[in-house]
Amino acid sequence: MAKLVDLTKKPYNLNADQIKWVEDTIAGMTDEEKVGQLFVNLFFPGSDEYSGNEFTNQEIVEKFHIGGARYKGQDSVQVQGLLNELQSASKIPLLVAANCDSGGDGATNDGTYIASGAQAEASGDTSVAYNAGYVSGREATALGVNTNFDPCVDILMNWRNTIVNTRAYGTNADSVIKYTNAYLEGLTQSEIIQCIKHWPGDGTEERDQHLVLGVNELSVDEWEDSFGRVYRNHIENGVEMIMAGHIALPEYQKALDPSLKDEDIMPATLAPELIQDLLKTKLDFNGMVITDAAHMLGMTSAMRREDYVPLSIAAGCDMFLFFNDIEEDTMFMMNGYKNGVITEERMTDALRRILGLKAKLNLHLKQAEGTLLKDKSELEVIGCEEHLEMRADAADKGITLVKDTQNNLPINPETHRRIRLYYLEGEKAMNVSSENNALGFFVEELERRGYEVTVNDGHTRVKGKTLEYRENVDFALTVSNVAGYGAENNYRIKWKTAMSNEVPWYVWEVPTVFVSLNFTTHLHDATMVKTFVNAYHNNEETIRQVIDKLEGKSEFKGTPNENVWANKWQAKL
């Protein structure tokens, strides 16, 4: 029997008045309002039209009675305006979410990046993770966000996994617990719902659940001693929301239900044995479960959409993240409710968990008092000096010299004046490198310090005469700004052409340094490099500090984990 929520207990701890509002609200709902509460819609600031549907923002809120909202990018003024508009139109206050992995930049384009999970781990300092959570909470709440879909509590066991390469806080349970606890302590200095992900755990395989069913292949004992410890820690600490990934845990699923065959194994979002039996019953999670984005192939490849939309709620998820077609998905969920796929008990339990979080934040009281909407003056906290100082501190502590076996450092404008700069990046449409001028930052800062910089054209395999190269180049700097997302199972370096002249053939000709601004495992593709730096981000502050450290003006303080070697003995040479 499914375990039902108790709103008097952790993580809700509601009082009688708050519970009364929850129960009265449910009692007064139409079927359409009940179904609508289960959905989170994705909005686009600056646009009054949902992609693929001819409804205005106000119509989406009023006609479809959505329970939550998330949004894409844009600057803080636009985001705050959108969120105020949505809350103004909603009869029941909305849960409004952002993905603040590493600071306020996850909530708005002009927000402050502090540190990714990988950077926090490299720093060895929990204050870096704390500050990332602290700034995430402060800048997000100034916009009107009240829920954060982070941190990732995945464990990066497989170096080939790029989807959580920089988002994971470590390669073992102890590191993940240490730094995510600190992040959440910082986050909860603001009034915001915390959500950890991706249940039951990513990072064990190399594939991406955006593109294929994710599979965590750990045995029951292995899972219990790793991800199980992580989730138990956060449940004990009172985490309010858990995002279920489109990830299967077949060994544990078959242990929980011995009748399951391989063809019966579903992602967690559709697996009652993982949500109801393991998470809510065995681990005693009393909070709310939300699906990961429902356009991801880990879910869509399981069955027909008209089936998995209601089955996700029947399996124990309480909210459904994102419409495909708003009218069609609403119909699918309504049909599932009317046909008994979603029982009355399951619907009421899901609504209690959703509204319980809204009551915990007293959104209903703020709505009644007229204090739910945000004022433009609150945006002053975004990018404030205090937050920029935290960003600088995180960069100083996190930037990591993985190796310098050729003793190429330090550099200076007198002995290394003529620099050949090789710039690598990933796909343009879906990643941060398309919105960032890291190359420009590097060139400008190096030239300001007295270097002469020539940017290499890698669209040819022609390398020219090596003696002339040595005559004309004092230092080679290779910068990787590869930051893809959701289009490949693994993101590696893509040279601009076959055997491109940007591939580090030059490591024996002139002093060469490779700097990664994102993924930490590029030595897999460049084992010949003798000096390698992980910098974790492409903001101007990080780039300035990278150059400071290359020049010996500041020491490298970060510590790499074993994944950086990509299991290649050559990488260590």
Residues with active-site annotation = 292
Strand partners of residue 95: 68
Tell me which H or E stretch contains 420: strand 418-425
Alpha carbon 39 to its chain's center:
20
Alpha helical stretches, state H, 339-404:
344-360, 363-369, 385-398
In contact, 357 and 14? CB cutoff 8 Å: no
Which pair of structure tokens corresponds to residue 421? Answer: 């700069």
494: left (phi over 0), alpha (psi -120 to 50) or beta: beta
Could you identify the residue written with the tokens 């039209």?
A: 49
C-alpha dihedral sign at 536, 537, 541, 545: positive
Q: How far is CA 396 from CA 124, 234, 300, 425, 542, in A?
A: 12, 29, 42, 24, 8
CA distance 477 to 420: 6
In this structure, the strands spanning 531-534 and 400-404 are antiparallel
Residues 6+ apart with CB under 8 A from 494: 424, 426, 482
In contact, 242 and 284? CB cutoff 8 Å: no
CA distance 72 to 263: 36
CA distance 210 to 296: 4
DSSP 209-273: TTTS-EE----HHHHHTTHHHHHHHHHHHT--EEEEPSEE-HHHHHHH-TT--GGG---GGG-HI
CA distance 204 to 202: 6
